[in-house]
Structure 1
Amino acid sequence: MPSAWVPKGGEKRAAKGAGRVRGSQEAPANGAKGGKKTLDEAAMTPFLREITLVSSGGAFLDGYVLSLIGVALTQITAQMSLTTHWTAAIGASVLLGILVGSIVGGYLTDIIGRKKMFVLDIIAIALFSALSMTDATPMQLVIYRFFIGVFVGADYPIATSLITEFTPKHHRAISMGMVSAAWYLGATVAALVGYCLCDVDNGWKLMLGSAIIPCVFLLIGRCKVPESPLWLKSKGREEEALKVVLRVYGADVTLEGEEEAPKTKAGFGEVFSKGYAARIVFLGILTLCQVVPMYAIYTFGPQIMTAFGLGVGKSAILGESVLSLFFLVGSLPAMFWLNSMGRRPLLIRSLFLMAVGLVVLGLFPTAPLPVIICAFGLYAFFSGGPGILQWLYPNELFPTEVRATAVGLAIGISRVGTIVATYGTPIFMAAFGIGPTMLVAAGLVILGLVLSIFMAPETAGKSLGETSSL
């Protein structure tokens, strides 16, 4: 396979790449002229940080709406006398929506631009969250949750493409780490909101409708974000691209030396051509192995906490919020380790430790409480690095003209597994118990570990032109 894809020299090369990251004053490597910097060499300004913040809002909403349904279902199931299959359908419907939205949204984002989609999807999420507050039937809830998922899924390739294309290379891992941290923050806030509303009559309506509040703030912030200059350049709109560069970076930054205008049009065919197909398969399976256990834990968090003896009712919800904090805290150092340690070694080590935590939970589900907490903590804390890389890798490994499409496809592949797992988790737990359920989750993480050992690339310290080349 091409050298830009399969690392040679393993972790030693990763260490060299990390060394290049720390040297922020290196000579221009992308062919900039006249002493000007390229986008990859530009300084990280307050406006660029604001772009990262409002772009991360979609991930916050994903973590929020996905996790809150687990708490809301404890009320909905009792109030509507739902069967296990209806409970699973409501939980899995948002994931089916994410599958559709990530693929279609990624394709449209590469065709019509990042900016338009960036605003429209937030408006749609607020609309369907408002509809969820009505006296909905189980089928209506499935439909509303599906469309929330569609627009949450569409936001993945939109927002992460914008962050990647605006952020200088030395800050890319940290900026994408903010996306992952925002997901866990959303999940943590959801657990706390659920804890406060779980004893309120019809509290589930307030839970599902509360997503409108962050949508309003995000809509205000996103209206100020310009179109990606790299996307504009890829469409031959260089004059508009230069105006955006001048506005965002200043007069000492140039588009020269960045990715050249594509020789082919954006589309699914281009993504699967040449060496890109192998990258899509790797990223799709890796993301599937990483998110399936996590989504199952978040969607049915209170039930899983109860199965491990970590409380019933509000106590179980509180236990889920503590677990969510482990996920959040683990993503913070991982932002910096991705540069200092390198993408590949951090991924492999993290997946190994995550698997250890899940194996302990699977083999010893009745272990003393401190053991259960430590095993959950081990799994959740070291999910930080892989959690960031599920956003960072696909954005680094594909060129501008197909970046959003590729991100959407990778996420779409992974969501096939999450739909099956989320629908099947309560059914599997009822039939076989919590121990075997955790062992299945461990098996998936181990599969991701083996795949990463053979296929994970090292992209630290490289420009987008280098990481996306074949």
Structure 2
Amino acid sequence: MNTYTTVPSGEQVVQELPWRWKVQGRIFLIGGLGFMFDAWDVTLNGILIPLLSKHWSLQPADAGWIGTANLIGMALGAFAWGTIADTIGRKRAFTATLLIFSIFTVLGAVAPDIVWFCIFRFMAGFGLGGCIPVDYALVGEFTPRKHRGKVLTAMDGWWPVGAALCGFISAGLVAAFADWRLTMLVMVLPALLVFWVRRSVPESPLFLIRRGRRQEAADVIDSLVLATGAEPRAYSLPAPQDAPRLSAGSAWQQLRRIWQFNWKITTAAWALFFSILLVYYLSLTWMPRILIGAGFEEYKAFVTTAGMAGVGLLGVAVAAVLVERVGRKWILAITAPLSALALVIVSLVVDIPDAAVFWLLAFGFVIQVAIPVLYTYVSELYPTELRGSGFGWASTFSRVGAGIGPLVFASYFWPELGLATSFALAGGLIVVAVLWMALFAPETKQLELD
């Protein structure tokens, strides 16, 4: 192997390989399945709120903790696992997240009261919160540059699959057995199977290069060249870069580094994550309860919410087609505000079933054009040594908002201001975030990852 600077780097070789389903596609599928369970679990909060409100006689403010505990756990998990992935490697973090989620999901299903239930949901969320930043970092670093926008955008296709499966399967289980515990246990076995399969995924060569594990990096790169059928060529491996050791302060050290990297870009990433996902999580968490309050039967409310999530597959497909043609920023600037507008219209027509269903489907489609482009965009804004933690901290900020937001929504905004005004205020945050992005964040279409 030649190490002269006149030859391409190992990173360039990986990013210029041909796409092969048996190689990079396999990593995409395995990573996507973990993402699917993330969607399933978040959607389950909306299913559990009306069921446990009845089971434990909860008021809306108390029931809001069902989603808040889980989402705050995900928030802490997002920054913790993002930093862990940048410190000990993508592969180890990749496998551990689902195992922790599975264990505490089982414990949550046998919880004796709402307090223990929320504790276990918090811990399950902590494990699962690492899936998005770790999976996006790993899949993005294995994906050839010219395919990366489409592949990372298509990753979000797993989200509507997981959310729709949660809604439809939960509706069937509740109708057949009237037992909320089954809605949790049904997803544990597949999650454990995915955990086992993840053990076979190789470590990211970009991470190995950054950590100075040159021989391991060369072995992975050579195996990728061979497996994809690319023509072998000489490449260089740059000197390792300093990275924080895993410790109690390493997450805060990474936080400082992502702000020092570029505070305007980090502000854009955090603002976009917070505002767009706040709107989406408000809909997932409270839409079943809103529909039931408007006169929908439980089963129909769950199925309608599942349909809202399922139609997002079309949105992801549209995003995958447009992301490399139009660019990340234009898509976000158009679809993110439109999704908030659609949700406001839902709140205005919720007493008219056909109209409510139509606008919910419209919301589900448009928001799932925006979200996969958001994930792709933010994962490309940071260099390799900050990619997992940069994405993870942005996800953390959004999950904190998504956890606290639905609780405040149910306790104050909804009863005091009404649905339409509450959703409109959330939409206003999206407009501010989009304007900041337009002014201060770069377009990343076809950008070579560093």
Q: TM-score, normalised by structure 1?
A: 0.85
Q: Is 1:238 aligned to 2:219, yes or no?
A: no
Aligned equivalent of 2:13: 38
Q: Is 1:447 aligned to 2:432, yes or no?
A: yes
Aligned equivalent of 2:62: 86
State whether residues 99 and 127 of structure 2, in contact with CA within 8 Å, keep that contact through their aligned partners in structure 1. no
Aligned equivalent of 2:241: 262
* Secondary structure, aligned partner of 2:361: helix
* Secondary structure, aligned partner of 1:199: helix
Aligned equivalent of 1:417: 401
CA distance in 2, matches of 1:185, 1:259: 40
* Secondary structure, aligned partner of 2:200: coil
C-alpha RMSD over aligned residues = 2.6
Residues 423 and 32 from structure 1, CA distance in 2 versus in 1: closer, same or farther, beyond 3 angstroms? farther
State whether residues 332 and 384 of structure 1, in contact with CA within 8 Å, keep that contact through their aligned partners in structure 2. no
State whether residues 209 and 237 of structure 2, in contact with CA within 8 Å, keep that contact through their aligned partners in structure 1. no
Aligned equivalent of 2:369: 385
Identity of aligned residues (%): 23
CA distance in 2, matches of 1:155, 1:322: 24
CA distance in 2, matches of 1:304, 1:407: 32
Aligned equivalent of 2:349: 365
CA distance in 2, matches of 1:97, 1:389: 24
Aligned equivalent of 1:24: none
Counterpart mapping for 1:36-435 below 5 A: 38-45=13-20, 46-201=22-177, 203-250=179-226, 252=231, 256=235, 261-262=240-241, 265=244, 267-268=253-254, 271-272=257-258, 274-307=260-293, 311-362=296-347, 364-365=348-349, 368-427=352-411, 428-435=413-420
How many equivalent residue pairs?
Answer: 434
Aligned equivalent of 1:460: 445
CA distance in 2, matches of 1:369, 1:257: 62
Deviation at 1:426, TM superposition (A): 2.4
CA distance in 2, matches of 1:253, 1:149: 43
Answer 1 or 2: which has greater helix percent.
Answer: 2
Residues 31 and 395 from structure 1, CA distance in 2 versus in 1: closer, same or farther, beyond 3 angstroms? farther
State whether residues 38 and 255 of structure 1, in contact with CA within 8 Å, keep that contact through their aligned partners in structure 2. no
CA distance in 1, matches of 2:311, 2:234: 40
Residues 180 and 269 from structure 1, CA distance in 2 versus in 1: closer, same or farther, beyond 3 angstroms? closer
State whether residues 75 and 399 of structure 2, in contact with CA within 8 Å, keep that contact through their aligned partners in structure 1. yes
Deviation at 1:246, TM superposition (A): 1.7
CA distance in 2, matches of 1:234, 1:34: 12
Gaps of 5+ in 1: 1-29, 466-470
Give CA-to-partner distance per residue, 1:27-48, whole Å, 9 cap, x none. xxx9645999721111111221
Identify the range of structure 1 (234-243 vs 320-329) with the bigger mean alpha-carbon deviation: 320-329
Residues 36 and 456 from structure 1, CA distance in 2 versus in 1: closer, same or farther, beyond 3 angstroms? closer
CA distance in 2, matches of 1:327, 1:104: 29
Deviation at 1:99, TM superposition (A): 1.2
State whether residues 169 and 462 of structure 1, in contact with CA within 8 Å, keep that contact through their aligned partners in structure 2. yes
Kindly provide the amino acid, as one letter, of the partner of residue 114 in structure 2.
P
Aligned equivalent of 1:437: 422
Give CA-to-partner distance per residue, 1:154-182, whole Å, 9 cap, x none. 22221111011100111112221232111
Aligned equivalent of 1:27: none
CA distance in 2, matches of 1:74, 1:36: 49
State whether residues 129 and 148 of structure 1, in contact with CA within 8 Å, keep that contact through their aligned partners in structure 2. yes
Give CA-to-partner distance per residue, 1:395-419, whole Å, 9 cap, x none. 2111111211111111111122112
Give CA-to-partner distance per residue, 1:424-450, whole Å, 9 cap, x none. 232232444322232223223323332
CA distance in 2, matches of 1:420, 1:166: 35
Kindly provide the amino acid, as one letter, of the partner of residue 315 in structure 1.
K
State whether residues 32 and 256 of structure 1, in contact with CA within 8 Å, keep that contact through their aligned partners in structure 2. yes
CA distance in 2, matches of 1:314, 1:204: 13
Aligned equivalent of 2:249: none
Kindly provide the amino acid, as one letter, of the partner of residue 223 in structure 2.
R
Q: TM-score, normalised by structure 2?
A: 0.89
Residues 258 and 334 from structure 1, CA distance in 2 versus in 1: closer, same or farther, beyond 3 angstroms? farther
CA distance in 2, matches of 1:343, 1:275: 21
CA distance in 1, matches of 2:260, 2:418: 45
Give CA-to-partner distance per residue, 1:300-332, whole Å, 9 cap, x none. 2211223556x2311111111111122222111
CA distance in 2, matches of 1:302, 1:296: 11
* Secondary structure, aligned partner of 2:15: helix
* Secondary structure, aligned partner of 1:464: coil
CA distance in 1, matches of 2:74, 2:440: 26
Kindly provide the amino acid, as one letter, of the partner of residue 329 in structure 2.
R
Give CA-to-partner distance per residue, 1:314-360, whole Å, 9 cap, x none. 11111111111222221112012101111121111212422432343
Kindly provide the amino acid, as one letter, of the partner of residue 261 in structure 1.
P
Aligned equivalent of 2:250: none
CA distance in 2, matches of 1:35, 1:73: 49
Identify the range of structure 1 (213-222 vs 60-69) with the bigger mean alpha-carbon deviation: 213-222
Deviation at 1:255, TM superposition (A): 8.4
CA distance in 2, matches of 1:111, 1:282: 25
Residues 344 and 257 from structure 1, CA distance in 2 versus in 1: closer, same or farther, beyond 3 angstroms? farther
Aligned equivalent of 1:4: none
Deviation at 1:114, TM superposition (A): 1.0
Kindly provide the amino acid, as one letter, of the partner of residue 379 in structure 1.
F
Kindly provide the amino acid, as one letter, of the partner of residue 463 in structure 1.
E
* Secondary structure, aligned partner of 1:38: helix
CA distance in 2, matches of 1:312, 1:35: 57
* Secondary structure, aligned partner of 2:109: coil
Aligned equivalent of 2:248: none
